[in-house]
Structure 1
């Protein structure tokens, strides 16, 4: 996962107010409930020293995702009276939380965005009159549900022309999938009428047909049953990595086989980040990182102790949440992040580091 979307959080000094809030709308009186949750967080922020202007900036952003149905949440980050980043969460946070620290607490947001898997969503079926076929396709990413509106196709085709039209439509969809980097094909169709979709899907590229997730249900006016879709995707995609992250994981495993101590655990990861040697940082989900690390004003000034930083000439040091310090160092040095399910590969201290090729095997300093 590229961390460039976090750059606004590291382009200005703190202190940072970081808020994670359940803004689900599958409940009675959601606006009243969300307002009540926010009041508790607002009081927490004030108690921890957040200035009134920063609290007000967060307040203005709470609930702006009210166009999203069902269960979801918000991650909000503000400093010095300015809302800097507001992100939708595909699922509610386990707990509503608010914190004030020198660094933004972005790790829960990053964990929720993983595995950031690109897919092509294809909804296809006969129209209500039975005389035509409706098709809607768009490039999306899971689990964030981010949709690229420029990468979409919608078409209605008379049923008698369907077989003649399907070859060109399949080429259009293949092009759409390629431009969106789709690694999975998610197909919504009527399970009792598979012929219509088979005519098209059988002509799509093999890598999409081999990575097919079928979601039952009829075409409801050309829109998805989002609850059904998310449930199915969670079951099918929850343990996957996207192709780029899978390649990084495999490279990491090869590296670990040569020198586990040099690339796994807190000491190895922090050393690589301090020396800007990290191509990617691996973290487990659920997270099991140490509670705190020490950091200086610069992103690469990171260590397990204040004394360690002092030996490098860093005079102004502070204790920070480990996840916040790791993310800043990774984002600012160009390292990417690979979120690895703990059941897939438990990592020492919940973290590891893939070194740049020219650094593999170099003793840490």
Structure 2
């Protein structure tokens, strides 16, 4: 997951209010329920020590959701009387909750808003294609392409003139497939789509796929639907979910392989809080792996004002010359460092673990996958 969107949270010092609100329920009483939620979250933050201005800003932001039709929820991050970031969620949180802490509580956001792959669904036939842009929050028309309209269909005759006609039909199909592939490649580049789902007859899907740029081939999924069929939401969700699981499993495999030292004795991956803290201070984290239920995720570390000022012990920060320090969760502190150094993050889920067990298929693989990363926190490293 690209963490760049979290950058505003680390441009100012804390403490921070982090609030997660469930907006998945919609009834005639919803406006009143959201009003009660706004008051409850403001009270909870005040009880934890938040200043009045920040409590009021959070309460007002939730009040503004009273008539929202958002299907899942919203996260709110506020400080000094201002809501700095309020991303929508791709999944509903387990109830409404709020926290006041030195750092924003962002790890739940990785689970509730992360890996929401944007899809282009291409409905392909011999005459052209229609494109839809789909994600957990978006479903809209994304244009399309119309190819040559004649000749399109074969005949059953076998005389010379009809064979010539058949060749022209083949040329029309190939021309249209090339035009669809070109338009689809442009659409993907403009939208940044993570997944391309081709819908149509086998031959038309295959012809378009073969003509796509090589860089897009790993993003393509072919849906087993005939011409004229439209994908249901659950069809798209299955494809999106499979894409997320496959990507996570591939990264876990890479992590497993990188833990072994290379010829120079350097490992390409580390796990455990002490090793991660050291890597973060040296700006060597390339991708942070987080298993939310791991015991290290909520382990206490110490942070200074800058993202690379973190340590396992408070005294270590003083040795580094940092006079001011605060305790924080290890996962939130490491995410702050990852954002500052343009690193990515990967949420490790049970589904990804299972995919790795199947892929590795070796004695002890199940045990190894269950422990990836050990303690719940790990990182793939970059070397200068």
Structure-2 change in CA distance of 1:187 and 1:287 (3 Å): farther
CA contact under 8 A between 2:38 and 2:58: conserved in structure 1? no
The 1-side partners of 2:286 and 2:314 are apart by 25
Alpha-carbon distance in structure 1 between the residues aligned to 2:188 and 2:70: 26
Matched, 1:266 2:276: no
The equivalent of 1:361 in structure 2 is none
CA distance in 1 between partners of 2:202 and 2:216 (Å): 17
Q: Residues 45 and 98 of structure 1 are in contact (CA less than 8 Å); yes or no, is this contact kept in structure 2?
A: yes
Tell me whether 1:335 sits opposite 2:343 in the alignment: yes
SS of 1:185's partner is strand
Counterpart position of 2:142: 152
- Alpha carbons of 1:44 and 1:347: their partners in 2 closer, same or farther (altered >3 Å)? same
Q: What aligned pairs does 1:1-365 form with structure 2 within 5 A after superposition?
A: 1-25=1-25, 29-62=29-62, 64=65, 68=69, 70=71, 72-115=72-115, 117=117, 119-124=118-123, 135-138=130-133, 145=137, 152-154=142-144, 163=173, 165-187=176-198, 203-205=211-213, 211-212=220-221, 214=223, 225-226=232-233, 229-230=236-237, 233-234=240-241, 236-241=242-247, 246=250, 250=254, 252-258=255-261, 263-286=270-293, 288=295, 289-342=297-350, 343=353, 344=356, 345=369, 346-358=372-384
Query: CA 1:209 to 1:41, structure 2 compared with 1: closer, same or farther past 3 Å?
Result: same
> 1:155-204 deviations in whole A, cap 9, x for unaligned?
67897687575542332112322454545322466xxx778767756654
Contact 1:286–1:341 at 8 Å: present in 2 too?
no
Closer, same or farther in 2 for the Cα pair 1:113/1:216, shift >3 Å?
A: farther
Are the counterparts in 2 of residues 292 and 319 from structure 1 also a CA contact under 8 Å? yes
* Shift in Å, 1:352: 1.4
Maintained 8 Å contact 1:294/1:306: yes
Contact 2:58–2:78 (CA under 8 A) maintained in structure 1: yes
Instruction: Provide TM-score, normalisation by structure 2.
Output: 0.72
Residue deviations 1:45-78, cap 9 Å, x none? 12112223222322333254966554x1111111
Alpha-carbon contact 1:290-1:349 (below 8 Å) kept: no
Shift of 1:281: 2.0
Indicate if the aligned counterparts of 1:73 and 1:93 stay in contact, CA closer than 8 A: yes
Q: Indicate if the aligned counterparts of 2:144 and 2:183 stay in contact, CA closer than 8 A.
A: no
Q: Aligned partners of 1:74 and 1:133: how far apart in 2?
A: 39
The superposition leaves residues 252-295 of structure 1 with CA deviations (integer Å, 9 ceiling, x where unpaired) of 43431116697211110011112223233222255541332211
Q: Structure 1 unaligned segments of length 5 or more: list them.
A: 127-131, 359-365
Does the 8 Å CA contact 1:17/1:104 hold for their aligned counterparts?
yes
Aligned CA-pair RMSD: 3.9
C-alpha distance in structure 2 between counterparts of 1:80 and 1:217, whole Å: 56
CA distance in 2, matches of 1:85, 1:356: 29
Contact map agreement 1:3 1:336 (CA 8 A) in 2: yes
Q: Distance in 1 between matches of 2:51 and 2:377?
A: 34
Separation in 1, partners of 2:47, 2:190: 48
* Range 158-167 or range 314-323, more displaced: 158-167
Q: Distance in 1 between matches of 2:234 and 2:55?
A: 33
Is the CA contact 2:177–2:204 (under 8 Å) kept in the aligned structure 1? no
Higher helix proportion (structure 1 or 2): 2
Relative distance call for 1:312 and 1:195 in structure 2 (3 A) is closer
Aligned residues: 338
Structure having the higher Rg? 2
Contact 2:53/2:80 (CA < 8 Å) preserved in 1? yes
